[in-house]
Amino acid sequence: MPLKRIKSLPTPSGVAVAKTATFDVPVGPRYHTIWLETGDTGKSVITDIIGDIRLKVNGKVQRTMSAEELDALNTLMGAEFARKEVDDGTPGDGHIVTTRLPIFLAEPWRKQPAVADGLAWATGNLSTFQIEVDIKAAAAGVVLAGYVEADYSTTKDAAGKEVQPAMGVICKWFRQQIPINGTTQDITTFPRRDFYQQISFFDEDIDSVVVQTDSIIQRDLTQPRNAGILESREMDPVDERFDIIFDYDDLITSGLPMVMNGRPVTDFQVQLSLSDGTPRNISTITQRLGPPE
């Protein structure tokens, strides 16, 4: 595997409260991890400073999540993947509390190094790669920087010339709001494309989930059973969220495909059973393995 280099990102533009800051990430390298480094003069946690984060390739969004959601899903894979905070004073006294939040493109929690490393994002064929960071209106005196873990691997084109590799299959994150109107909710709006690695429902009142494709039950999980399975695979589920992880066995081929036996899935349903049917929206993030949008 090529040597990883750790380099600072260019200074982001548009760093101001209630605005969107943008990092223009140099194309060419293969990116494994992107670290956001931030703080302000009045807050002690990153979730009071940063709202949504978007990763864009050639102008199209490939991942959307809030800083809070990102940190929660990182921590699911192990406490060592959570944000890192350095506090050099008392919050509110004018000092900066620095937080470093990783965006994992490669997946270092996987047991097979070649698979973990292989999910890094190659950018040799891209025109642009950007990270957009929404800064909250309540923040003050914000500083924002970033750095990356990347390598400069090469491959050969059809003419035998060495080039930096093109982006292939990547893990994309899509967020949507699921409306709840009762103690059961059928969801039929998830796109029927790519391979689903994970579906995360950010709600503490989900008792069980059933996933079906073309009338075949793929998952029938209660909250305790699901938590037990994930814990047995060294993950850290929490009561405040229900995470369906299709490749929990660490095999990249265990994702839920939207083409089965050579035929596209025509019916993809997820049914939630809840202890509280109060009307609301549940923030949901799906993770899909496939080509860039």
Strand bridging mode 121-122 / 216-222: unpaired
183: its two tokens = 């103690």
C-beta separation of 46 from 143 below 8 A: no
Q: How confident is the model at residue 94 (pLDDT cuts 50, 70, 90)?
A: low
pLDDT tens-digit map of 237-252: 999 999 999 999 999 9
Identity of residue 215: S
Domains of the chain are 5-168 (2.60.120.730), 176-290 (2.60.120.730)
pLDDT tens-digit map of 186-225: 999 999 999 999 999 999 999 999 999 999 999 999 999 9
